[in-house]
Amino acid sequence: MQAMILAAGFGTRLLPHTLLRPKPLFPILNRPLLLLTVERLQNAGFSRIIVNCHHLGEQIVDLLQGMAGVTVLLEDTILGTGGGLRGALPHLHDAPLLITNGDIYHDFDFARLYAGHRQEGRRVSLAVHDYPRFNNVRVEAGRGITAIGTSGEGCLAFTGLHVIDPEVLEDIAPGRYSCILHRYRQLLALGEEIAAVRMHGYWTDMGTPADYLALHGGLLTGAIPRWSEIGGEEGAAFLCGPGTRMEARPEWEDWCCLGDVDIGAGVHLARVVAWDGVRIASGCRLADVLLSA
């Protein structure tokens, strides 16, 4: 089975943190989300994985270099989801392609989605779920998806997970920016059916600092299912990296996730995520914040 991770975006809603690293490399409990996603796909049976990148793409190239079965495509200019997929076409086998955004965390079953696409027999299958903040895909019983970019009754959210037959990409102009949803709208206008696969469970696109913090809070308190690839002790609400140096153990409340950081004395932390290299000065009282370095 083959899959592609879209990891080229700028992550503007997460500025200034995305000036330091691309959003797919934001750590989840101190491990890069992109690496966790690759491992999760491999554990689901995907032996061929393509990753496209652009913004701070050298970091992604360095992280994945040498991983068996993984091909990284570094885009000189941003191509969008459609252009990025079109650029991968020469690297694809003649078999369905599972596509996932590089900035989402969920508990959906990759292999089940892939198998469902094969059984459905349509060229495009979109995974959808009920997420009112993003519900803009109209789904009708027996017809699948009938409109993209709309609102109202019968609408669900596109999860960023889809499976396509690669031939769908052939009509996208190579080397030019485009959105894959535009291609799907073209197919609908031509009368082609697009399958809707209803997914249930947890999902977030980790699009804002608040989303990122909420994900950590849920993972550390057990409210959100933890991927086995993350590892670590479940139920431990305070996590710090092995290289952390403390002048004194901080006071903390609710949960905290710290990488390899330096912590002064008299520190109080509540619902804080801090990346490797952060220095928390003595006497700081911090709450509901992402600290990057």
Q: Which domain holds residue 253?
A: 209-291
Specify whether the CB–CB gap between 187 and 147 falls below 8 A. Answer: no
- Pick the last residue of a domain from 204, 232, 264: 204
* Cα distance from N-terminal residue to C-terminal residue, the chain: 37
Judgement on whether residues 26 and 152 belong to the same structural domain of the protein? yes
Judgement on whether residues 139 and 250 belong to the same structural domain of the protein? no
Judgement on whether residues 162 and 49 belong to the same structural domain of the protein? yes
Judgement on whether residues 124 and 83 belong to the same structural domain of the protein? yes
Residue 33 sits in a domain of what CATH number? Answer: 3.90.550.10
Specify whether the CB–CB gap between 168 and 125 falls below 8 A. Answer: no
Judgement on whether residues 85 and 163 belong to the same structural domain of the protein? yes
Judgement on whether residues 180 and 269 belong to the same structural domain of the protein? no
Judgement on whether residues 134 and 245 belong to the same structural domain of the protein? no
Nearest to 24 by CA among 103, 142, 126: 103
Residue with tokens 């997970």: 161
- Pick the last residue of a domain from 147, 177, 204: 204
Contacts of residue 64, defined as CB under 8 A and 6 or more positions apart, other chains included, come to 34, 35, 38, 51, 70, 72
Judgement on whether residues 279 and 195 belong to the same structural domain of the protein? no
- Pick the last residue of a domain from 204, 219, 235: 204
What is the length of the chain?
293
Residue with tokens 């330091």: 20
pLDDT tens track for 249-279:
999 999 999 999 999 999 999 999 999 999 9
Instruction: State the DSSP code for 65.
Output: T
Judgement on whether residues 152 and 174 belong to the same structural domain of the protein? yes
CA dihedral 201, 165, 228, 260 (to 10 degrees): -100
One-letter amino acid of 100: T
Residue pLDDT tens, the chain, 293 long = 999 999 999 999 999 999 999 999 999 999 999 999 999 999 999 999 999 999 999 999 999 999 999 999 999 999 999 999 999 999 999 999 999 999 999 999 999 999 999 988 899 999 999 989 899 999 988 779 999 988 888 899 999 999 999 999 999 999 999 999 999 999 999 999 999 999 989 999 988 999 999 999 999 999 999 999 998 777 789 999 999 999 999 999 999 999 999 999 999 999 999 999 999 999 999 999 999 98
Nearest to 95 by CA among 50, 159, 155, 140: 50
What distance in Å separates the CA atoms of residue 289 and residue 213, rounded to the nearest whole number?
7
One-letter amino acid of 227: W
Residue 101: C-alpha distances to residues 52, 161, 238, 250 (Å): 10, 7, 29, 36
Element (H, E) at 112: helix 110-120
Judgement on whether residues 157 and 260 belong to the same structural domain of the protein? no
The tally of domains found in the chain comes to 2
What distance in Å separates the CA atoms of residue 197 and residue 88, rounded to the nearest whole number?
24
Element (H, E) at 80: helix 80-88
